[in-house]
Chain A
Amino acid sequence: MLQVVCIKQVPDTETRVKVAADGRSLDSAGVTWILNPYDEFAVEAALALREQQGGGEVVAISAGPAGVATTLRTVLAMGADRAIHLRVDGAAPDPLTVAQALAEAIRPLDATLVWLGKQAVDDDQAQVGPMVAELLQFPCVTALAAFQMPGEQLVAERDIEGGREVIAVTPPAVLTTDKGLNEPRYASLKGIMAAKKKPLEERPFPSGAAHLEVLSLELPAPRSAGRIVGQGVAGVAELVRVLREEAKVI
């Protein structure tokens, strides 16, 4: 069974966002780049399933600039077998353009499962997974909270407002992972050494017309700091009063 894991390199969640000179993108000076946190669960799910099934291949794919190779090496160190880097420099392509490039790379692989994080924590679009599914004509479950694959079929669960959907899925399928699905492993020293010899193939990102145009990136107006209404239990009555009379929220 061949599984694909699509990953994205994103700024660390502790990053303070600064706008670049172009007024449209993140100023990357001083930014630490990490594997998208939701993608860690996708990588872990694919590796754990390979172990459960006693074999198979896990192929990591990512679109992005030269630096993405570092994050793909991290995924190889965690245990993926090989990696494909769709190299694209300059402005980040929109989700549909990325999905089209990924689908094109995945199509010849005869994958049983395609894993992605449910969204990237930089642009928060949460589109690429279901778009890849549509382009490949695969079924898809987004924001996977739990799953079992006892045989050929898969039973997936996802959280929805006020409940949880239980979905029977027939692979080949696309699955996007939510936090809490599993405990992602760390790369071992042995894994890091082994990763250096694993194949990482760079390919050009297919060119095409953009489907979204980013006009600007703006920082929110800073919230004006409020006031301390009191200390300890003595402040409770005043807090209740301001919430009721000033803010009118209770």
Chain B
Amino acid sequence: MAILVWIEQRQGRVRGVAREALGEAQRLAASLGGPVVGVCAAAPEMQAGLELPSLGEAGADQVLLATHAGFGLYDAAGYTATMAAAVAAVKPATVLFGASAMGRDLAPRVAARLGVGLASDVTALAVEGGRLLARRPVFAGKAAQRVAFPDTPAMATLRPKVFAAGARAGAAAAVESLAVTVDEAASARARVQKVAAAAGGKMDLTESEIIVSGGRGLRGPEHFALIEQLAEALGATVGASRAVVDAGWRPHSDQVGQTGKTVSPRLYVAVGISGAIQHLAGMSSSRCIVAINKDPDAPIFKVADYGLVGDLFEVVPALTEAVRHLNAHV
């Protein structure tokens, strides 16, 4: 039975979470059977730029495309109708979405329309005894659940940056159009007017390969320049602890931890962050953790792969300089 994958596009470009979900779907197809069918909703003029046949390389055997004048920007009602139409046509056993801002909004609507359960932000899928099981972090990563799906189709959203896109060089997906009846009145009741770019084109923390986070050790918002300079040298995104967000030094979108973002970058550098349990929950799944703190007993050192004990006001500029030097000579 087919595995259906939501192909998220933004401004006519297919996003990485969709390729990751296709890769995982293709891997599952080995034990669950296929085909892997992508579903995309877009404005008609976007079709050529989406390069949907190339999604064969990421794992799609087929892509169903629904076009509509109102599908250029996210249309919750229209996209829900698209996914419901695809499920009715394909009758999949499994439906996957990326757990992006869009996927987290759309997938529950589709699940509620179909009357089936949904597992959010899944970090592993496995087939045991013929049934699909999902692993998903809870309590922001302090623990994980294993869940099974009593309903058909099984539905899940996949955490970004955890699953690998397929690499089927040269494979092309067959693209077919999907007819969708759009309820214009429903779409008009929540209409995206525009998407404003984030200041400085900042990347979302959940999609960042490297994160440099600052905490109360910085003593004031003006000293975040040190963090920004190190982040720039590393090609990293700036994060923050709850303490400094609550103090108003940084916006909430920068917060890492249980009431902020849960992140798993390749490298996480914690500067002047002592390591409260709610912060550790949000970053402990990072591949490599570096802690810079003047207190050698700070809990952050218990999860760090590499620690540097010292005054961040001296250490961080020296580290920034060393990284710049490395960049210039490699």
Q: A162–B306 contact, CB under 8 A?
A: no
B120/A124 in contact, CB under 8 A: yes
* Cross-chain contact A215 with B315 (CB below 8 angstroms): no
CB-CB under 8 A for A179 and B252, given A95-B108, A249-B288: yes
A243 in contact with B267 given A121-B259, A159-B253, A161-B100 (CB within 8 Å): yes
Interface size class of A (residues with CB under 8 A): 35 or more
Given known A-B contacts A124-B138, A249-B287, A95 and B259 have beta carbons under 8 A apart: no
Most buried by B among A125, A137, A161, A243: A161
The stretch of B36-44, B110-118, B221-229 that contacts the partner chain: B110-118
Stretch at the interface among B45-53, B62-70, B145-153, B164-172: B145-153
Set of chain B residues within 8 Å of A164, measured between Cβ atoms: 195-196, 198
Size of B's binding interface in residues, CB under 8 A: 102
Complex formed: what's the CA distance from A223 to B142 in Å?
A: 12
Closest to B316 in A: A236
Q: Is the CB of A250 within 8 A of B138?
A: no
Which residues of A187-230 are within 8 A (CB) of B? 209-220, 223, 225-230
Beta-carbon contact of A140 and B109 below 8 Å: yes
Q: Is the CB of A226 within 8 A of B306?
A: yes
Docked Cα-Cα span, A231 to B104, in Å, equals 43
* Contact of B204 (CB < 8 Å), options: A122, A161, A243: A161
Give the dominant DSSP class at B's interface.
Answer: mixed
Asked if A105 lies at the interface with its beta carbon under 8 angstroms from chain B, I say: no
Determine whether A133 belongs to the interface, using a CB cutoff of 8 Å to chain B. yes
Residues in B186-215 with C-beta less than 8 Å from chain A? 186, 188-198, 201-204, 206-207, 210
**Which one of A167, A170, A212, A223 has the greatest number of beta carbons of chain B within 10 Å?**
A212
In the assembled complex, B247 has its CB within 8 A of some CB on chain A: no
* Residue A29 interfacial (CB < 8 Å): no
Find B190's partner among A17, A127, A141, A232 (CB 8 Å cutoff): A141
Determine if B174 is an interface residue (Cβ-Cβ < 8 Å): no
Bound Cα distance from A137 to B112, whole angstroms: 11
B231 to A: closest C-beta gap in Å: 12
B139: which of A17, A137, A139, A249 is its contact (CB, 8 Å)?
A17
* Distance of A145 Cα from B101 Cα, bound (Å): 13
Q: Within 8 Å of chain B (Cβ to Cβ): is A76?
A: no
Give B292-330 as 1s and 0s: 1 = Cβ < 8 Å from A's Cβ atoms. 000010000111111111110011001100110010000
Q: Is the CB of B145 within 8 A of A217?
A: yes
**Are A167 and B117 closer than 8 Å at their CB atoms?**
no
Cβ contacts under 8 Å, A139 to chain B = 76-77, 186, 189-190
A149 at the interface (CB under 8 A from B): no
User: Please, which residue of chain B has its CB at the minimum distance from the CB of A228?
Assistant: B307
- Do the beta carbons of B143 and A213 come within 8 Å of each other? no
B326 contacts A226, CB within 8 Å? no
In the complex, are the beta carbons of A215 and B148 less than 8 A apart? yes
Does any Cβ of A come within 8 Å of B54's Cβ? no
B143 near A173 (CB under 8 angstroms)? no
Q: Which residues of A sit under 8 angstroms from B323, Cβ to Cβ?
A: 240, 250
Contacts of A209 in B (CB 8 A): 150
| B178 close to chain A: CB less than 8 A | no
**B308 with A99: CB separation less than 8 A:** no
Does B102 count as interface, using CB distance less than 8 angstroms? yes
Q: Within 8 Å of chain A (Cβ to Cβ): is B260?
A: yes
Q: Which A29-52 residues have a C-beta within 8 angstroms of B?
A: 37-38
Q: CA–CA, A244 to B143, complex, Å?
A: 31
Contact A159 B101 (CB under 8 A): yes
Q: Check: A22 CB closer than 8 A to any chain B CB.
A: no
Q: Which one, B73, B147, B260, B308, contacts A213 given CB within 8 A?
A: B147
Task: List 29 A-B residue pairs with CB atoms under 8 Å apart, sorted by A's residue number.
Answer: A37-B259, A121-B140, A126-B121, A127-B108, A128-B108, A130-B105, A135-B112, A140-B76, A161-B10, A162-B202, A163-B197, A165-B74, A166-B195, A169-B189, A212-B149, A215-B133, A218-B145, A218-B146, A223-B303, A223-B305, A227-B307, A228-B296, A228-B309, A232-B314, A235-B310, A236-B315, A239-B290, A240-B323, A247-B288
Known: A161-B204, A231-B308. 7 other contacts (CB 8 A): A15-B139, A121-B258, A124-B137, A145-B252, A210-B117, A214-B145, A217-B138
